[in-house]
Copies of this chain bind each other. A is one copy, B any other.
């Protein structure tokens, strides 16, 4: 869906809670990445941070209840709150993107498109791109298809890396033990870098929290943060005049 400047929406809805730390961190990054001189310069945000939504990866792998009804309830709450567009700071939730868009009168931003925009912003325009994420995100090929369409060569982590490194890193963030998440996340990034990745996508919104901004200089490969990528895309849509003024 293309939105021109004159149609630019004003109030951002955020379907969060997947996980709750990622949802709240996304709301924070919207504020921190918006050029502002006073409160009134910032973007109005309605955040529905509903942590009771059933686990997306478990459902995506066929092993648990669908998160779709709870996600649709959240969208309805946001639409009733008169939001003009909606961001969903959860990569795995985008496995249900078409069903969610069909139920929402407000347009949804797509996190994978935002990440691809962010790769280009960072100067990564071709070649191998490593993907990290939940088992369902990797197994269902959420990023692989979009990356190929955009001219990249996706590299997946091994099954062992997904389960031994990504899953524990994500689970530690969900337990508020972000310090314990760093070591496995670092190892999974290093493995993709060793395979020649020109960039690595932190393709689960818990992973940017596992690898805080202050430690990203330790890596020999650029990282794309799916929380920040989605926030930048939302700001670009809602504050087109601020484009290029991101911190």
**Given known A-B contacts A45-B49, A51-B44, A81-B77, A174 and B24 have beta carbons under 8 A apart:** no
Q: How far is the CB of A144 from chain B (nearest CB, A)?
A: 25
Q: How far is the CB of A173 from chain B (nearest CB, A)?
A: 10
**Are B47 and A51 touching (Cβ within 8 A)?**
no
Which of B17, B37, B174 interacts with A175 by CB under 8 Å? B37
Confirm or deny: A43 has a beta carbon within 8 angstroms of a beta carbon on chain B. Answer: yes
When all copies of this chain in the complex are counted, the total is 2
How many of chain A's residues have a CB under 8 angstroms from any CB in B? 43
**Given known A-B contacts A48-B81, A81-B81, A176-B247, A28 and B21 have beta carbons under 8 A apart:** yes
Chain B residues, CB < 8 A from A34 = 176
For residues 32 through 50 of chain A, which have their beta carbon under 8 Å from a beta carbon of chain B? 32, 34-50
A24 to B42, CA, bound (A): 12
Confirm or deny: A18 has a beta carbon within 8 angstroms of a beta carbon on chain B. Answer: yes
Q: Can you spell out 28 A-B residue pairs with CB atoms less than 8 angstroms apart?
A: A17-B39, A18-B39, A19-B42, A20-B31, A20-B43, A21-B31, A21-B32, A23-B27, A24-B24, A24-B27, A27-B27, A27-B47, A31-B49, A31-B176, A32-B176, A34-B176, A35-B176, A38-B171, A38-B175, A39-B52, A42-B49, A43-B51, A44-B52, A45-B47, A45-B49, A46-B49, A47-B47, A81-B81
